[in-house]
Structure 1
Amino acid sequence: MMNKNTPTSWDNSNAAQNKVAYVSADAEDQLVGELKQHFFVKHLVTFNAFEDYLSEQSILTLPDILLMEIDEEEYCFTLVEKIKKNPMLHGLLIVLLAKKPNKTWKARAMQLRVNDLYTYPLPVEHLSERLNFLIKFKLIRPKLSELLNQVDVEYKMPFSKRMFDIVSSSIALILASPIMIIVALVVKFGSKGPIIYKSKRVGTGYLVFDFYKFRSMRTDADKMMAQMSDLNQYAAEEQGSSKAAFVKIKNDPRVTKVGNFIRNTSLDELPQLFNILKGDMSLVGNRPLPLYEAEMLTSNEWSMRFLGPAGLTGLWQISKRGKEDMSERERKKLDNFYAQNYSFWLDLKILLGTFPALFQKEKV
């Protein structure tokens, strides 16, 4: 191992180039050579050596990314916890590498909120692209709501579309109020917890707002998500990738008995009429996404979906909602297509196609 006082190209590197600190037990790791084609790499073969290295760094010399190979003793997770608690190291980008698929490791990584996890064999070009993206994204994103200032195109709701939303949502709320009262009572007495489930969603231009639904899940549903990542039907499409941008779970065990019914009939969506009336979203558009999904759709290829209106129903709902052959890429393409081509006639077509799609065949 190199003496820690020996100057290296890492220490003398140009500040404009990205730095990766890589921890793996193999001193002759082939990945090191491949990564050096894209980054300045500091390779350490023990976690103790890495901790010593970190303790000697200042804010100006810290690596851009910590790349860690998961060890059989799982000390890497303990180290991640230490890093997360250190104020100076808070916000350090962390990517884990697993030698084999392991559901426990994957759940632990999600719980610790690492930035990514890859499983061997992995495409180095894909990994390098992802690392570069994480670094650039960190520089422009203190928080999601600020991404609105980074996009090249600003979406402005057409006056006619906004007026249609106000009129239609007001009428719908009046007509649906008896049904909403009944659903509220059933949810209230069906299981413990609040009647309305409120969560943060990301809509037009990455704006974050409170999203309303009738509660269809157990109150601990969010906490259970980390242990259920292997059930997600949107499997990663690239070899070696472990994350999918969207989440869809068939026969979700978190859903209550009442929840199954109101989900399959889309009655749980009725409170979103208030979101439409408030202007958070439109009647027709791309579905607003949870924060953890939106954070994975910030590349140039897919950010287009956020440059169109967010909506209660859209192309995804009328085309392949609930179908097992619906891939993540297909859903992204539908969202991008709508953002680029929405019009009154397309909205009308989607609305007319929404009613047959309300009753799903699958429990997703």
Structure 2
Amino acid sequence: MTPQTSTDWNQNSSSQVRVAYAGLELKELIAADLGNSFSITYSDTVQQLETYLGEQSLLTIPEIILVEVDKDEECFALVERLRKNMLMNGLIIVMLSTKKNKEQVQKAMRMKLHDFYTYPFATSDLRERLNFLVRFKLIKPRLLELSKEVDTTYKMPVGKRLLDLVIAWGMLICLSPIMLIVAILIKLDSKGPIFYKSKRVGTGYKVFDFYKFRSMRTDADQLLAKMAEEHNQYAAEESGANKAAFVKFKNDPRITKLGSFLRSSSLDELPQLINIIKGDMSVVGNRPLPVYEAEMLTSNEWSMRFLGPAGLTGLWQISKRGKEDMSERERKKLDNFYAQKYSLWLDLKIIAGTVPALFQKEKV
């Protein structure tokens, strides 16, 4: 079958995002709901899609690959081949499936595909996700410049910065003996480094190195893809493509014996005092998110949280931390509220309420 485009070529369609689609089961749904938003070229099989892509030039290659999972899972082999092609390895790849299969989802995550949708899902959510991925790809080379531009919309108040420095330096000096003991215990408890460093997204989508005492096994990152599918506390709120933005586990098996105590007492957070002193974050604010979580918050409704300061503690920690009824939506609403309403007085109230919230009952 010869691939057919969903729109006739004209001057306006040249500005549309180009999508190459492979599959038959969801083809009519995609054509009906996304055909007017994207310039889509359809292929019946993975093999036809690969043939079509091989005929494209630098000027005609699509921005997005949408492919249904086939019964032989040849789609995964196609992705591996595309990743080896200099012309194709930067394409946005999203897979669709009509059957729920955890192993396929985990495989897609390990391959670092941009997304995986299982039918039924809302095509409006898929449309929004594809548009975001294209925008993110276009601005990625300018992330440093973009973060500087966004940063101009938020300036740390002098009083808040002074409070941060006084508290951070004071705590660092007073707690240094405890931090030394924790460092020694971590070395004795399990193999691996004392500190854990990860990339986090803070104020104005600024990405920075985030420090913690290591509380997990050294292979924790490799286990994340599998556990995010099977044990995410927020996963119960998912519906179709409405995926949970936050990842949170109950009784996380990646945590070491010592790490469980460090987390329940929040001692693992102490190295973030260095982040505060460096100016990456504040004592009080919205928790900086891992990049994979921040990318999920794409709508204007939730991007508000990044316009306020990132912090060591915040509203959601003292409100419902560790409670069964702490929904993802409630957490987002608390983050947005703080970004819009934060003040020195509110910060002092949150700081006062943080100590009682540290000793949570639930292992999360």
The answer to whether the aligner puts 1:203 opposite 2:202 as a matched pair is yes
Q: Deviations over 1:275-306 (max 9, x none)?
A: 11121111111111111112222432222111
The answer to whether the aligner puts 1:317 opposite 2:293 as a matched pair is no
Query: Quick one: structure 1 residues 30 and 272, their matched pair in 2 at CA, closer, same or farther if it must change by over 3 Å?
Result: closer
Give the distance between the partners of 1:38 and 1:194, measured in 2 at CA: 48
The answer to whether the aligner puts 1:256 opposite 2:252 as a matched pair is no
8 Å CA contact 2:287–2:312 kept in 1: the answer is yes
Matches within 5 A, 1:199-278: 199-230=198-229, 231-235=231-235, 237=237, 239-241=239-241, 243-278=243-278
Query: Quick one: structure 1 residues 46 and 188, their matched pair in 2 at CA, closer, same or farther if it must change by over 3 Å?
Result: same
Q: Which amino acid aligns with 1:278?
A: K
Q: Which amino acid aligns with 2:195?
A: I
Query: Quick one: structure 1 residues 163 and 238, their matched pair in 2 at CA, closer, same or farther if it must change by over 3 Å?
Result: same
How far did residue 8 of structure 1 move? 8.1
Give the distance between the partners of 1:27 and 1:194, measured in 2 at CA: 47
TM-score normalised according to structure 1 size: 0.93
8 Å CA contact 2:33–2:123 kept in 1: the answer is yes
8 Å CA contact 2:6–2:41 kept in 1: the answer is no
8 Å CA contact 2:5–2:40 kept in 1: the answer is no
From the two aligned structures, give the one with the greater helix fraction.
2
Equivalent position SS for 2:350: helix
Structure 2, unmatched stretches of 5+, are: none
For 2:33, the equivalent position in structure 1 comes to: 34
For 2:44, the equivalent position in structure 1 comes to: 45
8 Å CA contact 2:5–2:39 kept in 1: the answer is no
For 1:123, the equivalent position in structure 2 comes to: 122
Identity of aligned residues (%): 62
Q: Which amino acid aligns with 2:199?
A: K
For 1:166, the equivalent position in structure 2 comes to: 165
How far did residue 270 of structure 1 move? 0.8
Structure 1, unmatched stretches of 5+, are: none
Task: Provide the alpha-carbon RMSD of the alignment.
Answer: 2.1
How far did residue 146 of structure 1 move? 4.5
For 1:333, the equivalent position in structure 2 comes to: 333
Query: Quick one: structure 1 residues 72 and 191, their matched pair in 2 at CA, closer, same or farther if it must change by over 3 Å?
Result: same
How far did residue 39 of structure 1 move? 2.1
8 Å CA contact 1:153–1:307 kept in 2: the answer is no
How far did residue 75 of structure 1 move? 1.0
Query: Quick one: structure 1 residues 146 and 80, their matched pair in 2 at CA, closer, same or farther if it must change by over 3 Å?
Result: farther
Q: Which amino acid aligns with 1:203?
A: G
Q: Deviations over 1:191-244 (max 9, x none)?
A: 001111111111111112211111000011011111112211122746311632
For 2:78, the equivalent position in structure 1 comes to: 79
Equivalent position SS for 2:173: helix
TM-score normalised according to structure 2 size: 0.93
Give the distance between the partners of 2:122 and 2:258, measured in 1 at CA: 44
Q: Which amino acid aligns with 1:172?
A: M
How far did residue 27 of structure 1 move? 9.3
8 Å CA contact 1:251–1:363 kept in 2: the answer is yes
Equivalent position SS for 2:249: coil
For 1:280, the equivalent position in structure 2 comes to: 280
